[in-house]
Amino acid sequence: MSRAWILERRPQGMPQAGDFALKPWPLAPIEDGQIRVRNLWLSVDPYMRGRMNDVKSYAAPYALGEPMHGGAIGEVVESRAEGFAPGDLVQHMDGWRDEAVVAAAAAQKLPALGVPPQAFLGQFGMPGLTAYAGLLHVAEAKPGETVFVSAAAGAVGSTVVQIAKAKGMAVIGSAGGAEKCAWVKSLGADHVIDYKAGPVLRALHEAAPDGIDVYFDNVGADQLDAALATARLGARFAICGMIDIYNHAEPTQLRYIARVIAARIRITGFLVTDHFGRLPDFYRDMAGMAAAGQLQREETVVDGLEAMPDAFLGLFSGANTGKMLVRL
Amino acid sequence: MSRAWILERRPQGMPQAGDFALKPWPLAPIEDGQIRVRNLWLSVDPYMRGRMNDVKSYAAPYALGEPMHGGAIGEVVESRAEGFAPGDLVQHMDGWRDEAVVAAAAAQKLPALGVPPQAFLGQFGMPGLTAYAGLLHVAEAKPGETVFVSAAAGAVGSTVVQIAKAKGMAVIGSAGGAEKCAWVKSLGADHVIDYKAGPVLRALHEAAPDGIDVYFDNVGADQLDAALATARLGARFAICGMIDIYNHAEPTQLRYIARVIAARIRITGFLVTDHFGRLPDFYRDMAGMAAAGQLQREETVVDGLEAMPDAFLGLFSGANTGKMLVRL
């Protein structure tokens, strides 16, 4: 009997164990155009927190009493769809469960890029495309510019660091704790800021005495404010996420917001879904960087479907270095 | 003996009377390439508050013990510069004084657009160009879109309202008090929000149930937050000023900043100085709107050089409807 994580009630603030329940979830027999997939890897991502609220946003809210959704990599075990055969590895969005019946149109066979399957949930998947499109297209970062990226030890941030270095930019990354900072430095970052060790603003002033040209925001709050304070003339901010505020009702406090005027800062929010058309470029460019040895990949792996809520909550306490994954 | 307003000490928070002093300020004899101007109209503008601080910003700080600067309209009384003759009306930046010796290169003869001289400190001057460039070029507002503009009874805001209406946009303006709101409505605004009468966010939701496409920000703080809350997909914010925070050390509190992501909002700070190249288009377009009866102009006039600090401080208490001017 297949099982799935059900949203039992909508979390208030930080989600609690009782907000979710792992329950048997029987699957219907597959119909024409469908495949049955045994999931191997499940993704947990910060944006899922928003889907747990009953608020219309860019992604539909999860329904109460129904399985949650998210990125998944699995093996086709039964197919009534042309082009899919048992044994094929596919990517789809019916995560948070061990098995799924999905429309073939909603599944993609993994491209042959010489990386392991779970990489398509991270550096070669949505987090990677988010990094790529946000840095190069939304923020229009150019060689020679100085890029600040927050949550630089995360799935998106660590890819931003590496793409930026591969493209000839100076990079400052922030992360929490000495171990993560050391890893971000090992990725090639010119400076690393440990946000747990002191005020980010002071550290950013020291790391970039002439200011920053680009800020890739995964965090919001104090780190956004520090970026506003240190932005150079014509700086561009790509706002990808604000993990610091997803579980909080308090307003964000910005001391330096008026600098958008003097420094003519451009702040742009974006979603990876607007950039799916860049996937071919992204795969080609990333495969080239990987072949040139410019990409390292780190995963924090949690084993077993039972542990999935812990993996999800770990995103908000900084439990992951690189992509957080659940292995079934 | 000519006189000028001297910056005596740098204001802390809201400027106080003792921060400025009106003193005799003798002028040197004019040299080749210079003109002597008797000022007729002086401008007070919110951006001057920033120049009173000792902080490097887009405009150099005013020097302590020296006359302050700002927009002025005057009559040439002596000229050693080609193309300038006594009696010419000119615009220059040596305001805050009754007479000035200026380089001819730093003065412009007023173009013949059929408007009174002081209009070149307001709707046909920097405030007007600010409205024009911010609305049409920075925010890229399009016919049929819904525009929200704060401080809509001010020099910039009232011009935004009228240009937006002339260009076929729906306009919501905010202002303080029934009298100003009635005036903004008379300019053609579809809805007017009295920010003193209740929460701006609720009023904006009611005025724009389907949300706003453009926000022209003169205020910051709560009005910026309300704009974030009501922004439609792909909304553009032109950040022109944040008068609510110029005199305050407290951080800006934003409850809805994370909506930049879901709604893919683009927030761009700008200065009119980046758009001087648009002056010919601006003059031509504005003259056309004026000829079509689409532009009304209101001035709040304070008489006498002695009253200039009061006029300046009045900007922060909402004492002006339309452009605040000092008449000599």
Under 8 Å between Cβ of B77 and B29: no
Under 8 Å between Cβ of B173 and B189: yes
Length of chain A in terms of residues written: 328
* Contact residues, chain A, for B269 at CB < 8 Å: 259-266
Q: How far is A81 from chain B (nearest CA, A)?
A: 34
Query: Least CB-CB distance to B254: which of A251, A260, A271?
Result: A251
* Contact residues, chain B, for A251 at CB < 8 Å: 225, 253-255
Under 8 Å between Cβ of B40 and B327: yes
Does B262 sit within 8 Å of A242, measured CB to CB?
A: no
Region B63-86 average pLDDT: 97
Which pLDDT does position A220 carry in this prediction? 94
**Token pair for B146:** 């819904």
CB atoms within 10 A of CB B44: 26
Which pLDDT does position B215 carry in this prediction? 98
**SS3 state of residue B184:** helix
**Token pair for A158:** 């660590």
Which pLDDT does position A261 carry in this prediction? 94
Q: How far is B151 from chain A (nearest CA, A)?
A: 16
Does A263 sit within 8 Å of B268, measured CB to CB?
A: no
Question: Residue B56 above 70 pLDDT?
Answer: no
pTM comes to 0.91
Question: Residue B57 above 70 pLDDT?
Answer: no
| Residue range B82-107, pLDDT digits in tens | 999 999 999 999 999 999 999 999 99
Residue to test with chain A: of B243, B261, B267, most A Cβ within 10 A: B261
What is the distance between the alpha carbons of residues B293 and B43, in angstroms, rounded to a whole number? Answer: 25
The one-letter amino acid code at B98 reads: D
| Residue range A8-39, pLDDT digits in tens | 999 988 999 889 999 999 999 999 999 999 99
Q: Which residues pair with A278 in a beta bridge?
A: none
The residue ranking higher by pLDDT, A242 or B21, is B21
Residue with tokens 């991502």: A45
Which pLDDT does position A56 carry in this prediction? 67
Region B135-162 average pLDDT: 97
| Residue range A100-111, pLDDT digits in tens | 999 999 999 999
- Chain B residues with CB under 8 Å of a chain A CB are 50, 57-58, 220, 224-225, 239-242, 245-246, 251-255, 257-271, 274
Please list the ranges in chain A whose pLDDT falls under 50.
none
Region B260-277 average pLDDT: 95
Which pLDDT does position A242 carry in this prediction? 86
- When pLDDT is cut at 50, 70 and 90, the band that residue B58 belongs to is low
Domains and CATH numbers, chain A: 3-122+297-327 (3.90.180.10), 126-273 (3.40.50.720)
Q: For strands A34-43 and B20-24, give the pairing.
A: unpaired
Which residue from B157, B253, B126 is spatially nearest to B147, judged by alpha carbons? B157
Nearest CA in chain A to B224: A257
What is the distance between the alpha carbons of residues A141 and A160, in angstroms, rounded to a whole number? Answer: 11
Which pLDDT does position A57 carry in this prediction? 66
